[in-house]
A and B are shown apart, each in its own frame.
Chain A
Amino acid sequence: MIENAYHLLYVSALVILSIVTFACLVKAIAGPRIADRVVAINMICTLTLCMIGILAAMLGEGYLVDVALIYALLGFLAVVVLCKVYIGVALEKREQEAKEAENHD
């Protein structure tokens, strides 16, 4: 009886989370600015973290929580690298524009 109740709770939570993740993916594809996409990717990372945690509790496998920990690390790393790269690109572009303006004068 209690196992059935837990199973129902976990499965419904997983279904809700997957629908929400899909909505977030649509946002990541449609986002008009770069920062929009990075925010959506960060959000997807958090949602997947929840999914892995719930899956670990559902299957009763403790080692899946380690996977969640590594996933948190990798998501953080991805966001930091993307931001650094795009900040560098934006600064370069700005510098180039300033140079061109000087040449015009």
Chain B
Amino acid sequence: MIEWIRFVLTALFLLGGLFILISGVVGQYRFRYVLNRMHAASMGDSLGLMLVMLGLCISQNDVFVILKYLLTAAFLLLTSPTSGHLIARLEIATNEHPEKEMELMQK
């Protein structure tokens, strides 16, 4: 019985993570401009991978394998802002007219 509860929990987390990842890719096709697409991509990076890894953790028995999964998720959580920041900077550096695509605001 407890095995089946574990299986259902794994399936829930895994499919939830897959759903977030798929909506990230759908966002790539829906949005028209790069910086808008990046938001969709960062969604998959943060919550999508975290949910998939959590689901896999629930299904495993070995403590060290679970810790490795968590380490991978934490590593991606640390590095994805850096790469996102660099991509945004690249876009601003290569684009000559950023004000066409978005509204500039000063606060």
The answer to whether residues A33 and B86 also contact, given A9-B10, A27-B29, A91-B93 and a CB cut-off of 8 A, is no
Q: Total contacts A to B, CB within 8 angstroms?
A: 134
Number of A residues contacting the other chain (C-beta, 8 Å)?
Answer: 44
Query: Chain B's interface: helix, strand, loop or mixed, by majority?
Result: helix
- Tell me which residues from 7 to 56 in chain B have a Cβ below 8 Å from any Cβ of chain A: 7, 10-11, 14-15, 17-18, 21-22, 24-25, 28-29, 34, 37-38, 41, 44-45, 48-49, 52-53, 56
User: In residues 15-34 of chain A, which contact B (Cβ within 8 Å)?
Assistant: 16-17, 20, 23-24, 27, 33-34
**Which residues from A are CB-within-8-Å of B86?**
79-80, 83-84, 87
Main SS at interface, chain A? helix
Map CB proximity to B onto A57-83 as digits: 1 under 8 Å, 0 otherwise. Answer: 100001001101100110010011001
26 pairs across A/B with beta carbons < 8 Å? Answer: A2-B4, A6-B10, A13-B18, A16-B22, A20-B25, A27-B29, A33-B34, A34-B94, A35-B34, A39-B41, A42-B87, A43-B24, A46-B21, A46-B44, A46-B49, A47-B21, A47-B44, A50-B21, A50-B52, A62-B65, A69-B71, A72-B76, A76-B79, A79-B83, A83-B87, A90-B90
